[in-house]
Amino acid sequence: MQPQQGTTPGEDRWGSRLPRSLGLFSAIALVIGSTIGSGIFRVPARIADQVPAALPMLSVWIVGGALALCGALTYAELGGLFPNSGGVYRWVKEGHGNLAGFLYGWSELVVIRASSLGAISTVFAEYLLRVIHGRAPADGSLSVHLVAAGVIAVMAALNYVGVRWASVVVNLTSAGKFGALVLIFLGAYLIGDGSFANFTQVEGPVTAGAFGLSLIAVMWAYDGFADLARVGGEIRDPERNLPRALVIGTVAIIGVYLAANAAYLYLIPVAQMRTSTLVAADAAQLLVGRVGVGLVSLAVMVSTLGAVASVMFTSPRIFFAMADDGLFFRSLARVHPRFQTPSRSIVLTAGMAVLFVLFLDFEALSDTFVLATWPFYALAAASVFVLRARAPELRRPVRVVGYPVVPALFILAATAMIVNALARDADRALLAFGLIVSGLPAYALWRRFGGP
């Protein structure tokens, strides 16, 4: 279950073959960098449209943050228990077996990570071209696809040649995007001409179903809090730093998201926010005029660039860990002899993402990413219960705060969100689950022709 210490030359006592070069600050930056992308700059308008009342709208972000924190607290125990590469893949496999682990890796390969990288890099490309040309690029513009593919390739190259350069980009962009959201919050209340009366506005009915669907969109903005664990095999003092970074990073994200939404609402009434697809730009324009739009465009570019760098940093470790376990092509477990990175897994991840971004439109797929990921997030959390019952003797440097309530709440909330999506948006939910189920014949073929 846990890797045997010192069983293979080149492994450390936790079973990792990759150098442990990431400290606590870099680990926290990875949590922030993987999570804060384009969501906080776009999702608020969608939430205001689905939940057209100020306080319920803010409560969606609070509930989503509480759910993410429950997940981070739960994963802190699992991260301390298995401080090596793979993250959710590792926890699902250890708790529920090879098939479950393979299905998660398959879902990440065929849609989740490639599409996520494509979507984030597309937003970067749109804003960059808007700044260059002074206007938004046309829908389906070839230049958007090419710039997005180029960003993915550059971030992949940085990760290929070593953790150091990639972590520098992640650290700088994480600080930049976090700082930009803090400045929007401070600017709103120090120099903004807003109104606290906006917090009492009700523009329409709020239903439980609409609240549940809006929660899916919010979890797209929060998605990424678990990504750090994929690089658990490269974190120094992982039994201590990995759980701490998960919790500290998640709490920081919750705080800055709530602050940003409070600033948006103070400046922009709910009725106007419902149609404000670029709500952060509108808020900045109210603060400092037209220059604010340019500043927010720059902030979004920094944010999305950092998110691409972070996701490209963490995602290849899923396929690296699968290959190490014999659940994927062994060649993908290769560590580059000079750069000490999972080089072939990085190339695979980048190649899939470039393929997707060149030929597909990603704007409507964020819910599909969430719906394909969250069943596995729930399974990973359930592994806490399974492993405590099956292997109570394992060393657990960290235990879930509030066990068993906190992991149970996380699992129940994730399940309720998925069931609500099936009831309210069945086509998209079935697409996500269909992609997961397509891994069953792939696993059968792997076991027959490629697996151990």
The token pair that represents 27 in the structure block: 């680990």
Residue 90's SS3 state is helix
CA nearest to 75, candidates 371, 382, 288, 292:
382
Residue 90: its pLDDT value, please? 95
- pTM (two decimals): 0.87
Residue 85's SS3 state is strand
Residue 3: its pLDDT value, please? 42
Q: 344 and 157 in contact (C-beta within 8 Å)?
A: no
Angle 375-377-381 (CA atoms, 0-180°, nearest 5)? 115
Which residues, other chains included, contact 397 with Cβ-Cβ below 8 Å and sequence gap of 6+?
Answer: 80, 81, 239, 240, 243
Could you give the C-alpha distances from 384 to 75, 377, 381, 399, in angstroms and in order?
A: 8, 12, 6, 9
Residue 326's SS3 state is coil
The label of the residue with tokens 């057209």 reads 52
CA nearest to 361, candidates 130, 123, 134, 129:
123
CA atoms within 13 A on the CB side of 286: 25
The token pair that represents 343 in the structure block: 């080089």
**pLDDT tens digit sequence for 142-157:** 898 899 999 999 999 9
**pLDDT tens digit sequence for 315-326:** 999 999 999 999
Residue 361: its pLDDT value, please? 61
> Residue 85 pairs with which residues in a beta bridge?
231
Query: What whole-number distance in Å separates Cα of residue 213 and Cα of residue 424?
Result: 8
CA nearest to 248, candidates 379, 45, 76:
76
Residue 66: its pLDDT value, please? 94
Query: What whole-number distance in Å separates Cα of residue 68 and Cα of residue 142?
Result: 36
Could you give the C-alpha distances from 413 to 110, 149, 210, in angstroms and in order?
A: 26, 35, 15
Q: How many CB atoms lie within 10 A of CB 191?
A: 10
Residue 452: its pLDDT value, please? 57
Residue 389: its pLDDT value, please? 96
Query: What whole-number distance in Å separates Cα of residue 87 and Cα of residue 383?
Result: 12
Query: What whole-number distance in Å separates Cα of residue 180 and Cα of residue 309?
Result: 18
Q: 222 and 255 in contact (C-beta within 8 Å)?
A: no
Residue 300: its pLDDT value, please? 86
> Residue 22 pairs with which residues in a beta bridge?
235
Query: What whole-number distance in Å separates Cα of residue 423 and Cα of residue 209?
Result: 9
Could you give the C-alpha distances from 15 to 3, 10, 95, 167, in angstroms and in order?
A: 5, 9, 18, 22
Q: Which residues of the chain have pLDDT under 50?
A: 1-7, 9, 364
For helices 405-424 and 366-390, what crossing angle results, to 10°? 150
Residue 264: its pLDDT value, please? 94
Query: What whole-number distance in Å separates Cα of residue 323 and Cα of residue 313?
Result: 17
